[in-house]
């Protein structure tokens, strides 16, 4: 993941933009891809105990679960939005 920080970040702790960097193997292409994220949600997967999981939604609507593309988006237990694109 590539994260853009607002000037003065260490004072304000504001992240302005997050992009997901995908390897050619993930997208079945011959090149790396950078996709802007609209949101990141953190929670636990059902049946996985307290193991944390992250859903990352790209601007094109693709949703990733940590490092995998989601065919079926799982329902997270105690979901919390940890990044939301203000644009």
The pLDDT value given to residue 46: 83
- pTM (2 d.p.): 0.74
> Does the pLDDT at position 83 exceed 70?
yes
The pLDDT value given to residue 13: 63
Q: What percent of the chain has pLDDT over 90?
A: 21
> Does the pLDDT at position 71 exceed 80?
no
Q: Is the dihedral of CA 24, 26, 42, 58 positive or negative?
A: positive
pLDDT, average across residues 57-85: 84
What confidence tens digit (pLDDT) does each residue in 7-36 have?
565 556 667 788 888 888 876 789 998 899
DSSP 76: P
d(CA 33, CA 54): 19
How many C-beta atoms surround the C-beta of residue 40 within 10 A? 20
d(CA 1, CA 47): 27
The pLDDT value given to residue 8: 60
Residues 50, 62: contact at Cβ < 8 Å?
A: no
């Amino acid at each position: 993941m590539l994260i853009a920080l607002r000037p003065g970040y260490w004072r304000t702790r504001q992240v302005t933009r997050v992009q997901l960097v995908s390897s050619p193997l993930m997208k079945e292409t011959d090149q790396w891809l950078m996709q802007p994220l609209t949101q990141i949600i953190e929670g636990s997967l059902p049946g996985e105990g307290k193991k944390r999981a992250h859903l990352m939604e790209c601007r094109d609507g693709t949703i990733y679960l940590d490092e995998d593309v989601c065919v079926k988006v799982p329902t997270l237990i105690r979901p919390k939005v940890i990044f939301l694109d203000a644009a």
